[in-house]
């Protein structure tokens, strides 16, 4: 897992970074959504979009 994640371009280990990224991104997205549009659908879309783009190709399915 570690070597694969490194080759993909991860600064640290795959799982550790994923968890940190998620926790750091969730509040950020919520804040932006609240300021922009108080719509849960928008917030979920942004989170899912970034999550799928950052997790799938980089980790190579290591998160699943």
pLDDT for 6 beyond 50: no
Q: Kindly indicate the confidence band of residue 5, based on its pLDDT and cuts at 50, 70 and 90.
A: very low
pLDDT for 61 beyond 50: yes
Q: Kindly indicate the confidence band of residue 27, based on its pLDDT and cuts at 50, 70 and 90.
A: low
Nearest to 13 by CA among 21, 43, 42: 21
Could you give the CA distance from residue 64 to residue 62 in angstroms, rounded to a whole number?
6
Percent of the chain with pLDDT over 90: 0
**Predicted pLDDT at 55:** 57
């Amino acid at each position: 897992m570690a070597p694969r994640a490194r080759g993909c371009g991860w600064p640290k280990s795959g799982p550790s970074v994923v968890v940190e990224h998620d926790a750091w991104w969730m509040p950020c997205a919520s804040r932006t959504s609240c300021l922009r549009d108080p719509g849960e659908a928008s917030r979920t879309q942004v989170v899912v979009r970034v999550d799928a783009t950052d997790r799938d190709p980089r980790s190579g399915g290591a998160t699943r």
